[in-house]
Structure 1
Amino acid sequence: MPRTPEPDEDDLATTPPPPPVFHVEQALLGALLLEPHRLSEITGIGASSFSTAAHAALFGAIGSMPAPDPVEHATDASWLHEVLTVARRQARGLSPTYVHALVQVCKWPQHAAAYARIVEAEHARCRLAAAAHRLLHTAHDVSLPHRVTSVLAEAAAVAGVVDDVAARFPPHAGSLPRTPAPPTSAPHDAEAVDEELLLLATATAYPASVEQMRWLTADDFTDPLHADLWQCLSALTRRGVPVDPVTVLWEAQQRGVLGTRTPRELLGLLADSVGSPEHWGERVLQRSVLATAHRVGRRIESFTDDPATTPYQLVVGSRRALADLSAVRARWQHATAPPAPAKKPTPTRASAAARAGPPTTKPPAARIGR
């Protein structure tokens, strides 16, 4: 049973402490309240870069007002009150006490630019985390009519965020993230297993299609045995030997990939074909695109969840993760591209119609009557 706190017990101890960037934001705002002219040194951040609504409102208010005269500002607090009045329009809970506390907490206003750079780095992490979360959500949203198209659009959005972060924090050598990869175990999907079996059976019945389906690889299958059997089919078609359930069974035995299936079971599975190999192949590849998007989203999310990951490492690690998705996306686009229109045959010189020219024979001589 959950523990019931005592009436006089202070439950504030259960509130997690604010992250380090919260204190950096306080130092930056305090520096700008003390020396407003330092706002000209701040680049790369805006009100949305701050972690709380109160901090965002204060930064926006400071930027919307002209800086006071430094000499007058040292002895007159009217500019601070004006900032508070403007900021309260966005954050009504702000108080004069908190504004003065920010002024007191900042001991080094000359470090304002360094504080802003830290805020910018943390905001980049939050942006990338949000983009990765949207990619994960889209990969699992079964209500979307075109899931792969939506997933690839979100992946492009993630890549856009990564490029923007890279422009602000260019990666350098030795900036690989040290965050361990999250587990990639996937639940058993009976529908995926059935579709892979139908693909293998129809490809065995129509082996000519296998050579045209190079956009499908063994890594796209969810069952290791199915991946091995696809490699067997591909090897047989490349060698140009007859393909049927018996030859596939023999190839699987030669490769040692029969697994727990008995020969009779395997022959039965390969003989039950329905539909076309291309249809089932696209279904298998579609699942592979979605599964890869899930893994990429989880990987990038693990980078952003690790506070020790620097912006440079976020860029390098995210780009490497996205490369896996780019590879399967290229194969998906190749598989689903409409067939190219057949080119009209170019007439050769021999088949071209002869051009009309002058007669090569003389007209018959006129007959002279007797």
Structure 2
Amino acid sequence: MTPLLRAEQAVLGSVLLDPDQLSHLGWLAPDHFYRPIHRALFAALRKLRDDGHPALAEESVPLSWVTDAVNEAGLHVRGLTAVYAHSLISACPRPAHAPVYGRMVLEGAIHRSVTEHAIRLHQAARADALQGEVEGALHYADVLTGVLSDLAQRWGTEPRPVAPTAPPTTVPAVPPPVRADQVAEDERFLLAVLAEQPNAVDEVVGWLRPDDFADPAHGQLYHCLGALHHRGEPIDRVTLLWEAQRRGLLADGTLSGDRLTNICDGVGPGSTEWLGKLVMRSSVTRTAATSARAIRALAENEALAPGRLINHALHALGPLDEVRSRWQAANGHPAPTPTAPARSPTGPPPAQVHAALARSAPRPTSPSSARPESAPSPAAVRPPSRGHG
């Protein structure tokens, strides 16, 4: 049994032994549990608490607290029995450690949630690449950003992009390019038009970058075109070949004279802006897929703390945000407003501080924290090891 499942059993066992522990687990939700049977049972325990179950007003926990929780959970899931509920009680070393067990469950939920949404982003990027679209990938990138912000608030940290100090220990294999032949043909056609049509670079230089080309050689050639344009020098196949030689692209084998000639020969009329958008669209989906793979690798590293995972994942989305802003500029749309909250000069929001403190350690039991229904007396304070009557 994994440590995560042991933690889920321990937190449920602690609540079955001591219903008061639910007051220390307000930041933990049923969806944070991995097993459906555990989700249903935790939701049932919260419902019984909210409905004012009689066990909350008694000194010793009655057996009805367990049986009613099992019956309530059994309405939503199959296979749950009273025997299993009592095995959860046995799996709890100390009920007072419930906040720590809950923190372990939340850690597992954060890793699991980030992994699931990274997979969805990757699938959306692949589908958009096949269909020649970008909307799906950008939508799921926004969803992932929102999920990371919500998880940061639950964990009690500030969501901000932070670069990892070391590369992920697990790097998924890069899948084969989608529509690679068509993408390469679009890039060659664009470069040919840029090399042969006067002032064509002006139409794309504001938002198209060398990294947007899938073929590194094409990106280097576009870099040469940009350098000539920046210096105000004439652009044609001869000056382009000379610039490539000055940058060492012929010497290191990145380009050859024959390849450059093949790109420039046989070009017909074409819209530079339209071709540039084709290359840009491919760059958006390719960057989204790369960010998704990087985030999934981070989430699958169980040794990575949740706060660092969230911040590293936000950093991995940075290149996609940059490409998105240029894609919107190419289509005449304003740059999007950043969704990540800015750092407050007075410290993190109170809700994040409360979440961090709530999961740090159990609060000491005192007469002042007794239930309002019961009179404040020593008998009203339950010891952590109380049994069922």
| TM-score exceeds 0.5 | yes
The equivalent of 1:148 in structure 2 is 134
> Offset at 1:202?
0.4
Q: Which amino acid counterpart does residue 315 of structure 2 have in structure 1?
A: R
For 1:250 and 1:35, the matched residues in 2 are separated by 79
Q: State the secondary structure of the residue aligned to 2:127.
A: coil
The equivalent of 1:356 in structure 2 is none
> Offset at 1:262?
4.5
The equivalent of 1:248 in structure 2 is 240
For 1:184 and 1:226, the matched residues in 2 are separated by 24
Q: Given the alignment of the two structures, is residue 136 of structure 1 paired with residue 122 of structure 2, yes or no?
A: yes
For 1:172 and 1:337, the matched residues in 2 are separated by 30
Displaced runs of 4+ in structure 1, greater than 3 A?
67-76, 142-146, 171-178, 183-188
> Offset at 1:185?
5.0
For 1:69 and 1:138, the matched residues in 2 are separated by 49
Moved more, 320-329 or 247-256: 247-256
For 2:256 and 2:91, the matched residues in 1 are separated by 74
For 1:256 and 1:143, the matched residues in 2 are separated by 33
Deviations 1:184-204 (A, max 9, x none): 756462222111110110011
The equivalent of 1:266 in structure 2 is 260
RMSD of Structure 2 on Structure 1 (CA): 2.6
Q: State the secondary structure of the residue aligned to 1:307.
A: coil
> Offset at 1:177?
6.4
Deviations 1:100-135 (A, max 9, x none): 111122121011122122212221222211111110
Q: Which runs of 5+ in 1 are unaligned?
A: 1-17, 340-370
1:38 to 1, 11, 21: 21
Q: Which amino acid counterpart does residue 36 of structure 2 have in structure 1?
A: A
1:174-213 matched pairs, under 5 angstroms: 176=164, 178=166, 179-180=168-169, 182=171, 187=176, 189-213=180-204
Report if the CA contact (8 A) 1:201-1:273 is conserved. Answer: yes
Q: Which has the higher contact order (CA 8 A, sep 6+)?
A: 2
Instruction: Number of aligned residue pairs: give it.
Output: 322
Deviations 1:147-190 (A, max 9, x none): 31221111111111111122233159999465247267564622
Q: Which runs of 5+ in 2 are unaligned?
A: 335-389
Q: Which amino acid counterpart does residue 230 of structure 1 have in structure 2?
A: Y
Q: Which amino acid counterpart does residue 202 of structure 1 have in structure 2?
A: V
1:1-370 matched pairs, under 5 angstroms: 18-65=1-48, 66-69=52-55, 72=58, 74=60, 76-142=62-128, 147-169=133-155, 170=157, 176=164, 178=166, 179-180=168-169, 182=171, 187=176, 189-214=180-205, 215-258=207-250, 259=253, 262-274=256-268, 275-337=270-332
For 2:327 and 2:312, the matched residues in 1 are separated by 24
The equivalent of 2:346 in structure 1 is none
Q: State the secondary structure of the residue aligned to 2:13.
A: helix
For 2:254 and 2:262, the matched residues in 1 are separated by 14
For 2:129 and 2:203, the matched residues in 1 are separated by 32
The equivalent of 2:361 in structure 1 is none
Report if the CA contact (8 A) 2:9-2:91 is conserved. Answer: yes
Report if the CA contact (8 A) 1:88-1:94 is conserved. Answer: yes
Call closer, same or farther: CA 1:187–1:120 in 2, change over 3 Å.
Answer: closer
Q: State the secondary structure of the residue aligned to 1:147.
A: coil
For 1:284 and 1:146, the matched residues in 2 are separated by 11
Report if the CA contact (8 A) 2:32-2:39 is conserved. Answer: yes
> Offset at 1:286?
1.0
Moved more, 199-208 or 75-84: 75-84
For 1:181 and 1:99, the matched residues in 2 are separated by 37
Report if the CA contact (8 A) 1:210-1:237 is conserved. Answer: yes
